[in-house]
Structure 1
Amino acid sequence: MIRLATKEDLPAVMEIVSRVKSEMKARGSSQWDERYPTIATFETDLNHGELYVEEEDDQIRGICTISVTGHEEYDDIAFHSLHYLTLKRLAVDPKARKQGVALRLIQFAEAEANEKKCDALTTDTFSNNLAAQVFFQSLNFSFVEKRQNPSESTALIYYEKPLFN
């Protein structure tokens, strides 16, 4: 089941994030580290009503933020759609991998976007996060742009998935 997160979910969310950060580091991705994302990041998502959890048997197995706003640079990205929802901070507990959790979260985000009459779902990932790139491409997200973030050593890759309402 996918539902809006509650304040009581934050400890479980942060446990998943900690495990995912360790896994990303081992794979050579610097996208998530000690600076990002933090509990404050998820508290903000929660306060905006944008943080979702996927759970089974009262265990949170995956998380994502589905936002009406992109990151600050999104206005400068050459997305084809002007009316989109943005998928942020998608994470699946490594213990729950290969069980369709991420796919269900993406499908849920698509349904939310369709309900809001959005034309697309957007997201981004670091260029060294190959697992995320393969995953997004397998779900028909199209490459939009690769851009060097001045505050990071790694470029960001932006994706968009057109939706048909």
Structure 2
Amino acid sequence: MSQITENLILRKADISEVPQIWNILQDAIEQRRLDGSTQWQDGYPNELTIHTDIENDHGYVLTENNIILAYAAILFDKEPAYEDIEGQWLTDGDYAAVHRVAVSKLAKGKGIATKLFKKIEGLSIEHNIYSIKVDTNFDNIPMLKILDRLKYTYCGEVFFRGGARKAYEKKLA
């Protein structure tokens, strides 16, 4: 992989890519554990989660020269967990929800997660969606830094899979 990531492509994941995506997620799960985070330490996400994402047209990969650098689930429909927030979303209309963001260890330190979110913003606008909502664990410092860097607004807490999560939204121009 080159040092300069200019040819990044965000596209729907193919079911044949599940093993590669699962390897990336396993590395992210291990990194969360090493960071002392409780996020993703209970068997979720797993390979079935990825299969389901792809089957539901939610699974996306960020590639460079056909090498998968990152994975995310992007939902262009309502996220049930976001319907009840302790706090207030910035908008009430349509939005894209982003889940299961993971970056390949081959791409660590290259700003790939930030570039992934910028591509997701562009994809959302292509879908005429002008809001992105995302949640993360309170102890996921790397994701919290990315959301801050990209000017996401903290909106409150949502409850996802039995636990409170920090909820963020960004309005797109």
Amino acid of the structure 2 residue aligned with 1:66 = I
Q: 1:96 to 1:150 in 2, by over 3 A?
A: closer
The 5-angstrom pairing of residues 5-154 of structure 1 reads 5-77=13-85, 78-81=88-91, 82-147=93-158, 151-152=162-163
- Aligned identity (percent) is 25
SS at match of 1:9: helix
Deviation at 1:135, TM superposition (A): 1.1
CA distance in 2, matches of 1:94, 1:138: 21
- For residues 18 and 160 of structure 2, the distance between their equivalents in structure 1, rounded to whole angstroms, comes to 29
In structure 1, how many angstroms separate the alpha carbons of the residues matched to 2:130 and 2:63?
28
Q: How far apart, in 1, do the equivalents of 2:127 and 2:63 lie?
A: 24
What number of residue pairs does the alignment pair up? 162
Matched, 1:4 2:12: yes
Contact 2:114 2:146 in 1 (8 A): no
Deviations 1:30-78 (A, max 9, x none): 1112421011111111012121112223321111111123542211122
Name the aligned partner's letter for residue 89 of structure 2: F
Letter in 2 for 1:67: L
Structure 2 spans left out of the alignment, 5+ residues = 1-8
Q: Which residue of 1 aligns with 2:171?
A: 162
In the TM superposition, what whole-angstrom CA distance separates every residue of 1:3-37 from its partner, at most 9, and x where no partner exists? 21101110000001111111110101111124210
Q: How far has the Cα of 1:137 moved from its partner?
A: 0.8
Q: Structure 1 CA distance, aligned partners of 2:57 and 2:158?
A: 29
- Normalised to the residue count of structure 2, the TM-score between the two structures is 0.86
Closer, same or farther: CA 54–80 of 1 in aligned 2, 3 Å = same
Aligned mates of 1:36, 1:60 — CA distance in 2: 21
Q: Work out the CA distance in 2 between the residues paired with 1:89 and 1:107.
A: 16
The alignment's TM-score, normalised by the length of structure 1, stands at 0.90
Distance across 2 between alignment mates of 1:109 and 1:42: 18
Cα distance between partner residues in 2 of 1:96 and 1:38:
21
Whole-angstrom CA distance in 2 between matches of 1:150 and 1:30 = 13
Q: C-alpha root-mean-square deviation of aligned residues, in Å?
A: 1.7
* Separation in structure 2 between the aligned mates of residue 87 and residue 15 of structure 1, nearest angstrom: 20
